[in-house]
Amino acid sequence: MSTMPDKHQDTDVVRRRFINPPPSADDAGTAASIQAAKREFAKRLQQFMTDKGWNQSDLARAAAKFMPDKKFNRDNVSLYVRAQQLPGPVRLRAMAKALNIEETKLIPPGATASVDEDAPPLAMRPLGSGNVWLQINQAVPQDIALKIITLLGSVSK
């Protein structure tokens, strides 16, 4: 992100150029809840690390033992502790096992570990022959999820 001073009216206000468009009013609530979930996860993770007397490197080393490739970078832990990112399911499971706790102790209610936290809530990509690839990445009530699954099951037959 580049910045440049705004010299209008003799002030030192800094204007920023953004690559992405500013969030809409609809996005504000979602973004706030995602950021709140990241902050809560960060607090919980930091507390469990403190309880064990661990630093970020200690957690990374311990979690690596539970990873399929036996690798877990301290930089990932730093992103989690600074509330920059939520872990995906594999990393969440590895950290929980390393800390000897249930995964649910780390993830706040309503937050979910996702492989792609930046995916749009709904995406469709044409495949040809009247078919599309549908991707849904959002929280929905269980009854709606079951209806979608039922509908998709009847389509695939």
User: Quick check: 72 pLDDT over 90?
Assistant: yes
CATH architecture of 1-118: Orthogonal Bundle (1.10)
User: Quick check: 115 pLDDT over 70?
Assistant: no
> 67 with 73: CB under 8 angstroms?
no
The overall pTM is greater than 0.85: no
Q: Nearest-CA neighbor of 63 among 94, 102, 85, 106? A: 94
**Other beta carbons within 10 Å of 124:** 10
Look up residue 130 and give its two tokens.
């009247």
What is the DSSP-derived secondary structure letter of residue 133? E
Beta-strand runs (E) in the chain: 3-6, 13-16, 122-128, 131-136
pLDDT tens per residue, range 22-70 = 555 555 555 567 788 888 999 999 999 999 999 999 999 999 999 999 9
> 113 with 92: CB under 8 angstroms?
yes
Q: Looking at residue 14, what is its pLDDT? A: 53
> 153 with 146: CB under 8 angstroms?
no
* Domain boundaries, given as residue ranges, for the chain: 1-118, 122-156
Question: In DSSP terms, which residues pair with 125 in a beta bridge?
Answer: 133
Look up residue 37 and give its two tokens.
């979930």
